Amino acid sequence: MKWLNKFMAGRYGGDQLSMVLTFLALILTLLARLINIPILIYIGYIPLVISIYRIFSKNINKRRMENYKFAIFMSPLYSRFKRTQSKVRDFKTHKYIKCPNCNASLRLPKKKGKIMVTCPKCKEKFEQRT
């Protein structure tokens, strides 16, 4: 294992973008095998080669900036996924509604009857049944 540590010293290594590229290559290759399109197999090698290049690259700052831009690009999807995940997790105990004034999403406890809700964003007060 020492030789691997020695070889990888000063190289960038794996990150989120490299993992996504590798996964994309795997999906394209499997899809090409299933539907029997040989050109798609070769297209699937492109993200794999880019991923390997990034992992073994010695230009650490450039690879870090590429991963940073990828993370910024993916952050809206990631935050939407997390919001949906929390809504599913809280489905039995809380109800999500929209403020009638500013359309902000509000989380209310279930089974409390009619309650007065104050929107934290626009300070609008309205009555809501939970």
Q: Specify the long-range contacts of residues 5-8, CB closer than 8 Å, at least 24 apart.
A: none
Across the range 26-45, mean pLDDT stands at: 92
| Structure confidence at residue 68 as a pLDDT band (50, 70, 90) | very high
**Would you state the pLDDT for residue 74?**
94
Residue environment code for 16-50, b if the CB has 16+ CB neighbours within 10 A, otherwise e:
ebbeebbebbeebbeebeeeeeeebeeebeebbeb
Q: What pLDDT was estimated at residue 91?
A: 87
- Residue 88 identity (one-letter amino acid): V
What is the sign, positive or negative, of the torsion defined by CA atoms of 77, 83, 87, 89?
A: positive
Judge residue 73's burial from the number of C-beta atoms within 10 Å of its C-beta, 0-12 exposed, 13-18 middle, 19 or more buried.
exposed
Distance CA 92, CA 81 (A): 19
pLDDT at 1: 80
pTM of the model: 0.67
First to last CA, the chain: 59
CB contact set of 92 (below 8 Å; sequence gap of 6+) = 110
What residue has token string 């700052």? Answer: 61
The pLDDT confidence band at residue 23, using thresholds 50, 70 and 90, is very high
- What value does the mean pLDDT of the chain take? 91
Judged by average pLDDT, the poorest of 26-30, 68-72, 87-91 is: 87-91
Q: What is the band of 9 on the pLDDT scale with cuts at 50, 70, 90? A: confident
